[in-house]
Amino acid sequence: MSDQPASTAASTAASDAAAAREVMHALMARGSEASPEPRLHATRRVTELLGDPQRMYGVIHVAGTNGKTSTARIAESLLRALGLRTGLMTSPHLKALNERIVIDGQVISDRMLADNWADVEPFIAIVDAELVANSEAPLTFFEAVTVLTFAVFADAPVDVAVIEAGMGGEWDSTNVADADVAVLTPIALDHMEFLGDTIGAIARTKAGIIKPASRVVSGYQKDDAFDEILAACERDEATLKVLGRDFHLTEVESGVGGQVISIAGISGHYPNLVLPLLGDYQAENAALALAAVESFLGNGDAMLPREVVEEGMALASSPGRLEVISANPTVILDAAHNPHGAEALCRAVMTSFAFDRLICVIGVLQHKDIAGIVEALDPVVDHFVVTQSQSDRAVGVADLADAIAEIAGPDRVDSRASAEEALARAEDLAGFDGGVLVTGSVTLVAEVAQVKGR
């Protein structure tokens, strides 16, 4: 009899996990996340049938090229420290779909995932039929996930949701939400086959998350990107606050397991904040997140309580972003997958670590700028170990190795068929006091994390 409760709990957990896997299979059948439909009407139609759940809470919407996930996570942590019930939507996930949907700092359970999918799937099926009848594709993976997420947050319910855009902004399915605050992280070249081949064109699409009379917060931008953001704000009569102009990162000092930063925010100065994230770009993300929360709470007219900001920063996390997962050698995960992200990663490695020898395990997905990524990493990497993740979009090992050898030289390149073999080779080359950097794609980072039991 005494074993019955534990046995019942195990059986329930197994049943819930199986139900969650069924949800994932149903979503995966909708095609690759890398092939979006540039439209909003499909997602809007489902949310209308559901009673517009995305209008039932405040929204901070985050778009940009790099730093979106970390900025969203830090903003959510600050809001939670304020005592608000929070929702957080990020993408992609490292291990399980549930990671994309977080309530009050906790990934939703398998049961919550399955139950909410059961609630929304009939409405998605209605719209699928309407789309097909109109010679359009059914809802995509990301469109369906967006609908599911908005419904989960309404059901919780949450006070405020921090939503990370998937790709672009203007036609990204998350843009059916009318954000109170629109956040633009640094914009660079990426997903050019969908967003355009200039920074200006990409910024124009991403600035589509700006809505009439909304509050807009922007990180550092190149001139072409800033011009598009400014034009969107003027068109929609939105207020604009910019890092380096309206709020500032005044001090950054490396510490054990993170850094100590000082921020001159929109409403006041917040000195000596402990941020348990490495890299100067994470300090910039923290400043951007703080300004977003200040803007959400009355357009930055009142300074946030010191103890709230301290708690929110101290509890912030960003898995897979300059994340140290083991020592001797030190193994670092970073999901940089474009040249701009790789450049930020290179700067962060130089300021946060001092390895005698750094080995890079790298795997890249198709349609990415391999040369740009490798050229950015080359100054800090002693040797590359090339591999590929299990994603069907991964560039083959031989082709990737040839491309990297053209830049780094063949004597600085090794190849291994799997992430596990590549990690073992890199750790051997790095030695006890060296470093191993795993980067190039989220899928590779996720596989190495699993190898390490994370």
pLDDT tens digits, one per residue of 353-374: 989 899 999 999 998 999 999 9
329 cis-preceded (ω within 30 degrees of 0): yes
Is 393 found in the same domain as 286?
no
Are residues 327 and 286 both part of a single domain? Answer: no
**Helix 141-155 vs helix 110-133: angle between axes, to the nearest 10 degrees?**
130
Are 37 and 65 in a shared domain?
yes
- CA–CA distance, 313 with 276 (Å, rounded to integer): 8
In a domain, 1, yes or no: no
Both 329 and 303 in one domain: the answer is: no
* Shared-domain flag, residues 214 and 269: yes
Binned average pLDDT, 10 residues per bin, the chain of 454 residues: 65 90 93 85 98 97 93 97 97 88 96 96 98 97 97 97 92 95 92 83 94 95 94 96 96 86 95 93 96 88 90 92 91 91 90 92 93 95 96 94 96 96 96 95 92 80
For the CA atoms of 323, 451, 25, 34, the dihedral, rounded to the nearest 10 degrees, stands at: 50
Task: Give the β-pairing of 435-439 and 330-333.
Answer: parallel
pTM over 0.85: yes
Task: Indicate whether 92 and 236 sit together in one domain.
Answer: yes
* Strand ranges in 73-214 using DSSP code E only, listed in sequence order: 86-89, 101-103, 106-107, 160-164, 181-184
| 333 membership: H or E segment, kind and range | strand 330-333
Total domains, the chain: 2
**Last residue in a domain, options 294, 314, 334:** 314
159: containing domain: 14-314
Identify the three-state secondary structure at position 251.
strand
pLDDT value of residue 454: 67
Pairing of strands 215-218, 181-184: parallel
pLDDT at 182: 97
pLDDT tens for 381-405 read: 999 999 999 988 899 999 999 999 9
Q: Which two tokens stand for residue 160?
A: 């405020």
